Amino acid sequence: KQEVTQIPAALSVPEGENLVLNCSFTDSAIYNLQWFRQDPGKGLTSLLLIQSSQREQTSGRLNASLDKSSGRSTLYIAASQPGDSATYLCAVTKAAGNKLTFGGGTRVLVKP
């Protein structure tokens, strides 16, 4: 059974510092991995999707890497801003299936 873990559960950084968020998964037979952002009282917004054949994806200040062999993905957010404060979740899609398995999320606070 696939298990997805995100450590730490919470993170606080000063504005301007780079954010590094970790995601690990137990079964490397994944189809893709997605990173989501969740604001309080809201649904999830998809940030980046990395296909299993890719090593990384970039969008603006966000960069996500994927190392299937070690079961890890990292989301980098450059030059953090208070508006980046949110909970970030990763999720993997198993091979030949369309169901996502989510991690518990990392709650991020960027202090002005």
CA distances from 48 to 1, 15, 27, 61 (A): 24, 22, 20, 12
Which of 11/44 has CB closer to other proteins? 44
Which of 13/49 has CB closer to other proteins? 49
Site for other proteins in 24-63 (CB under 8 A): 31-32, 34, 36, 41-46, 49, 51
**Other beta carbons less than 10 A from residue 98's beta carbon:** 7
The CB-of-19 to other proteins minimum distance in angstroms stands at 20
Which of 33/77 has CB closer to other proteins? 33
Sequence-distant (≥ 6) Cβ neighbours of residue 88 within 8 angstroms: 6, 21, 35, 36, 37, 38, 47, 75, 105, 106, 108
Site for other proteins in 87-106 (CB under 8 A): 89, 91, 93, 97-105
**Contact 48/36 with Cβ under 8 angstroms?**
no
Binding site for other proteins (CB under 8 A): 4, 9, 31-32, 34, 36, 41-46, 49, 51, 89, 91, 93, 97-105
